[in-house]
Chains A and B, each alone.
Chain A
Amino acid sequence: DQQVKQNSPSLSVQEGRISILNCDYTNSMFDYFLWYKKYPAEGPTFLISISSIKDKNEDGRFTVFLNKSAKHLSLHIVPSQPGDSAVYFCAASEGGSTLGRLYFGRGTQLTVWP
């Protein structure tokens, strides 16, 4: 059963505008969340993370928001650039474990057009 869900397989955004990628999870024990970006023929690259003690983390153009009560997180990219076109994976790990075992969503293909 999928514990991390990305319900939008694709998103298309014009350059300069905001991209919002969404992720939902079902396991209330998850306490650490990550976003990875993946270009074709490459492995996933770590982008940004957030701990459950926070509700927002920002790194340059990328901001991740966490809503624990809704079990929902989102990644905002502002402004979007054509180079951001990639598959974005949401991932989560469970508290109480000594190992950061990750559960992944299926990914959202972001296309940023000029």
Chain B
Amino acid sequence: DAMVIQNPRYQVTQFGKPVTLSCSQTLNHNVMYWYQQKSSQAPKLLFHYYDKDFNNEADTPDNFQSRRPNTSFCFLDIRSPGLGDAAMYLCATSREAQGKRNQPQHFGDGTRLSIL
């Protein structure tokens, strides 16, 4: 089955210690997204890649970076995690094209990040 896979499912890191979360997809979708979801809150878009073009949300902290080495993989790097960065991180993909908007996003199962 085509899918979006996030690794690891659970990640524990120390305050200030860099951490990388990964996402891979077999859907061959051209857009990949990273969301942050804190308890009982709405998923919040951090950034997305439209093909190779990186698009940062205005309120995403500089502490968060992303890499997309190829169509299938996307990484979320948190350079110096703080206690406030503990959350569920969701990766999603969609196929977007001119004249063909409104395609549903497909989500992975998320990585739950804890900060010690």
Alpha-carbon distance A49/B102, docked complex (angstroms) = 9
Q: Is the CB of B104 within 8 A of A106?
A: no
Whether A102 contacts B105 by the Cβ 8 Å rule is yes
Instruction: Contact check, A106 vs B96: say whether CB atoms are below 8 A apart.
Output: no
* B108 at interface, CB cutoff 8 A: yes
In whole angstroms, what is the CA distance A78 to B104 when docked?
A: 23
B107 A44 Cβ-Cβ under 8 A: yes
CB pair B42–A46 under 8 Å, yes or no, is no
Taking a contact as CB atoms closer than 8 A, the residue among B31, B42, B50, B108 that contacts A105 in the complex is B42
Inter-chain contacts of A42 with B (CB < 8 A): 109-110
Number of interface residues of B (CB under 8 A): 28
- 24 pairs, A vs B, C-beta closer than 8 Å: A4-B42, A42-B110, A43-B4, A43-B92, A43-B108, A44-B90, A44-B107, A45-B107, A46-B105, A49-B102, A89-B42, A98-B101, A99-B31, A99-B48, A99-B55, A100-B101, A100-B103, A101-B45, A101-B48, A102-B45, A102-B105, A105-B42, A107-B40, A107-B42
Residues of B within 8 A of A (CB): 4, 6, 9, 31, 40-45, 48, 50, 55, 90, 92, 94, 96, 98, 101-110
